[in-house]
Structure 1
Amino acid sequence: MDAQHLHAKPQAEGEWSTGFCDCFSDCKNCCITCWCPCITFGQVAEIVDQGSTTCGTAGALYTLISCFTGCGCIYSCFYRGKMRAQYNIGGNDCGDCLKHFFCELCALTQQYRELKNRGFNMDLGWAGNVQRQQNQGVAMGAPVFQGGMTR
């Protein structure tokens, strides 16, 4: 399966699979993001860019922007919008910027959790996830929903 089929875009506008303030549901990522947000951002950017940007490159650029401007959110809010478009998640650019400006850590951890809930192993990066899918037939991209249809 080629890279474009890894992420089926849902037909209807959806929502995030976790809440904005559910940071502590993944304590490991919460701690990493708190101490070194460039790592979480790099992981998210690599998956969202489908491997055209590496985790290291995105994380380094995020760090440089943060050091020179004090606002890595200038760069990271762009990826939130890009991710919303890929997965047809509701929201708008203004909301993305406000979330990243006022609570960068919650925004980054929410994006991380979203990709994880869509089947990505964030530690593997894009190429590792593509390889895993080819070897195991793991479907990535569809949201994970709890429960099912009931009558």
Structure 2
Amino acid sequence: MSNEWSHSVWDCFSPVEQCLLGWCCPCALYGRAAERLEDPALKEGSYVNGNCCLFVLSNYCCLSWVLMMMKRRDLREKFGIKGSVGEDCVLSCFCPCCVLVQQEKELDAQSNRLQTGGYQAPPAMSYPAQ
């Protein structure tokens, strides 16, 4: 893996909207990031979805950091970003809001990269005429 994160995990105070969302309603930011990660074009995702609900439920058991760790790992693997599961674990456990904002910023950066020609959807399948 050779790519770096587009923003540091400590660069979580801007934009202010994402920062406040990460602090006040982390389930919404987690849900949006999870939905966007499943979409190859990384288009807009909704804030309230099944992933958001799962995050809320896991928060009651104090296990939301596990979901964030796994989603961070998925994001790193999808875009070839340097890091380790140990790093994902520590950051997700001790700096969850910063991790959520970093993931959202990374998805924005990757979305911009894909829109400028990085990702091309495969052509539709067709069968030869008989």
8 Å contact from structure 1 (residues 18, 113) kept in 2:
yes
1:78 to 42, 51, 70: 70
8 Å contact from structure 1 (residues 40, 112) kept in 2:
yes
Counterpart of 2:93? Answer: 101
Counterpart of 2:58? Answer: 65
TM-score (ref. length: structure 1): 0.68
Name the CA distance, whole Å, in 2 between partners of 1:80 and 1:103. Answer: 13
Name the CA distance, whole Å, in 2 between partners of 1:108 and 1:141. Answer: 24
Name the CA distance, whole Å, in 1 between partners of 2:19 and 2:77. Answer: 25
8 Å contact from structure 1 (residues 118, 140) kept in 2:
no
8 Å contact from structure 1 (residues 119, 140) kept in 2:
no
| Structure 2 alignment gaps of length 5 or more | 41-45, 120-130
What count of residue pairs does the alignment treat as equivalent?
113
2:30 counterpart of 1:41: yes
Task: Give structure 1 regions of 4+ aligned residues with deviation exceeding 6 angstroms.
Answer: none
| Structure 1 alignment gaps of length 5 or more | 1-11, 121-132, 143-151
2:8 counterpart of 1:30: no
TM-score (ref. length: structure 2): 0.78
Cα offset, 1:48, TM superposition: 1.5
Cα offset, 1:115, TM superposition: 0.6
Name the CA distance, whole Å, in 2 between partners of 1:101 and 1:79. Answer: 13
Larger Rg: 2
Counterpart of 1:87? Answer: 79
Provide Cα deviations, 1:97-129, integer angstroms capped at 9, x if missing partner.
100001000011000001112226xxxxxxxxx
Cα offset, 1:141, TM superposition: 6.0
